[in-house]
Amino acid sequence: MRPNMTSLKVTPLTDTFGVMVHDLNLSKIAEDKEYPVLRALFEEHSALLFRDQELSAEDHLRLARMFGPIEDRMADSRKPGEELGVSPVSNQIADGRVTGEMDMHTLHLKANQLWHIDSTFMPTPSLCNILAAKVVTETGGETELASSRAAWAGMPEALRECIRGKILGHNYRRSRELISPKLAQQSMFNKWPPQRWPAVWANPVNGKEALYIASHVYQVEGMVQSEGKSLIEELMAFCTQPQFTYSHKWKVGDVLLWDQRATLHRGTPWPYDQPRTLASVCCSLQGTDGLDAARTALVNLQV
């Protein structure tokens, strides 16, 4: 039986996607009670916003594990017995100082200001990101979302036919090169080989299709480099038009959760002499989330 999504009060974030979920304490979610309703909202609306949350690191991880395995990009360097924790998206370092604007870490944060999907450059991409505001700035620092599902539904058929059935190459290094060649040389951005993914994914629950593109894309297989680059730029521009986007101004206690299969995102600049910290947990895709179908499509699609 499909969960009753009306059991939670929601209001739309935009006319095309996303809802704010009211009167729900994320630290008290039960996997056999609230989670199925939450998951149904996630599948249907792609982005969920929650206000006034006091989400500890333990509660953050517990909630994320309901969606799937926690993504661990540092598995190769984690010490024996060292537990996986919440990832800070922050310009603050251990002693409380902030990194300089041209510091490699700040440049990495600036690369996140390109439209992207998390982890398309990994062998197992991300299903969702659960992002919680801990320290915010008075100006700037918004997180913006773009619905590649709503954009695909509203895209002219001629443009859709240009990308339908294509395979895209994704590489972490690619998005960092767009900010700084020196940044792209760091080992963190070269530890995974390039990945290949279908350009269009269908949601396994409702069948709705979405573009699967990102700033990590370095090629459209079967197209010369310049033509592929121009096509990706055209598609990205279409997907990030105002009618398909949402810009979130953070308040401490906000939690934003979105579906990486159907949503692009980016940060926006802020005064870099001011601290800003968001807590992030990404969950990895599982076979039933559409990963098996994507891998099968790679075999079936012909370049």
| Domains of the chain with bracketed CATH | 5-300 (3.60.130.10)
Q: What local confidence, expressed as pLDDT, does residue 3 receive?
A: 55
Quick check: 114 pLDDT over 80?
Answer: yes
Identify whether the C-beta of residue 59 lies closer than 8 Å to the C-beta of residue 45: no
Q: Quote the percentage of the chain above a pLDDT of 90.
A: 79
Express the helix, strand and coil content of the chain in percent, nearest 5 each.
30, 25, 45
Per-residue pLDDT at 38: 96
pLDDT value, residue 74? 81
User: What pLDDT, on a 0 to 100 scale, did the predictor assign at position 99?
Assistant: 83
pTM, entire model: 0.93
Q: CA angle at residue 61 from 55 to 65, to 5 degrees?
A: 130
Is the pLDDT confidence value at 5 over 60? no
Q: 113, exposed or middle or buried, with CB in 10 Å at 0-12, 13-18, 19+?
A: middle
Q: What tens digit of pLDDT does each residue of 216-225 get?
A: 999 999 999 9
Output the pLDDT for position 98. 87
Alpha carbon distance 73, 116 (integer Å): 17
8 Å CB contact between 7 and 38: no
